[in-house]
Chain A
Amino acid sequence: MTLLDPAKAGSAPGPKSGPMSGPKTGAVLASADTPPLPVRSDDLAERLLRLAIPALMLGLLVVVWAWYVAAYQVPHYILPSPARVAQSLVNDWPILSAALLVTLKITFMALGLALIGGVGLAILMTQSRWVELAIYPYAVILQVTPIVAIAPLILIYAPTTQTALLICAFIVAFFPVLSNTTQGLKSTDHNLLNLFEMYGASRWQTLRYLKLPAALPYFLAGLKIAGGLALIAAVVAEFAAGSAGAQSGLAYRLLESQFRLNIPRLFAALLLLSLTGVVIFALTSAISHLLLRRWHESAIRREN
Chain B
Amino acid sequence: MSAVPEASRPAAAGPVMASSRPLVRLSGVSKTFSNGTIALKDMTLDVGQGEFISLLGPSGCGKSTALRIIAGLGETSSGSLDWPTSEHNAVGQPEPEISFVFQEPTLMPWATVFENVWLPLRLKGASRKAADEPVMEALSMVGLDQFRDAYPRELSGGMKMRVSIARALVTRPKLLLMDEPFAALDEITRFKLNNDLLRLWERFGWTVLFVTHSVYESVYLSSRIVVMAARPGRVVSDLRIDAPYPRDEDFRTSPVYNDYCRQASAALHAAMDARDHL
Q: A-side interface residues toward B, CB under 8 Å?
A: 1-5, 7, 9-10, 12-13, 16, 18-19, 21-26, 28-29, 189, 191-192, 194-201, 205, 209-210, 213-214, 216, 294-297, 300
Instruction: Give how many B residues have a beta carbon under 8 Å from the other chain's beta carbons.
Output: 46
Of B78-86, B183-191, B225-233, the one with at least 4 CB within 8 A of chain A: B183-191
The 9 closest A-B pairs by CB, nearest first: A21-B157, A4-B143, A22-B186, A9-B150, A191-B106, A9-B154, A213-B110, A25-B156, A25-B157
Contact of A24 among B111, B142, B150, B157 (CB under 8 A): B157
Closest to A18 in B: B184
Contact B123 A200 (CB under 8 A): yes
Contact A29 B109 (CB under 8 A): no
Contact of B143 among A2, A21, A189, A192 (CB under 8 A): A2
Which residues of chain A are within 8 angstroms of B186 by Cβ–Cβ distance?
22-23, 25-26
Which residues of chain A are within 8 angstroms of B102 by Cβ–Cβ distance?
191, 194-195
Closest to B184 in A: A18
Which residues of chain A are within 8 angstroms of B185 by Cβ–Cβ distance?
21-22, 25
Interface pairs (9), CB distance under 8 Å:
A5-B158, A22-B186, A25-B157, A26-B189, A28-B156, A191-B102, A198-B73, A198-B98, A209-B108
Interface string of B131-165 (1 = CB under 8 A from A): 00000000011111011001111111111101000
Closest to B155 in A: A9
Given A3-B143, A3-B192, A22-B185 in contact, is the A199-B156 Cβ separation under 8 Å? no
Give the complex CA separation of A302 and B36 in angstroms.
Answer: 46
Q: B-side interface residues toward A, CB under 8 Å?
A: 71-73, 98, 100, 102, 104, 106, 108-111, 119-120, 122-124, 140-144, 146-147, 150-160, 162, 184-186, 188-189, 192, 195-196, 199-200
Closest to A1 in B: B143
Given A7-B156, A198-B71 in contact, is the A209-B122 Cβ separation under 8 Å? yes
Give the complex CA separation of A294 and B155 in angstroms.
Answer: 13
Give the complex CA separation of A233 and B203 in angstroms.
Answer: 66
Contact B184 A19 (CB under 8 A): yes
Contact of A1 among B111, B140, B157 (CB under 8 A): B140
Contact A295 B109 (CB under 8 A): yes
Which residues of chain A are within 8 angstroms of B188 by Cβ–Cβ distance?
25-26, 29
Contact B162 A4 (CB under 8 A): yes
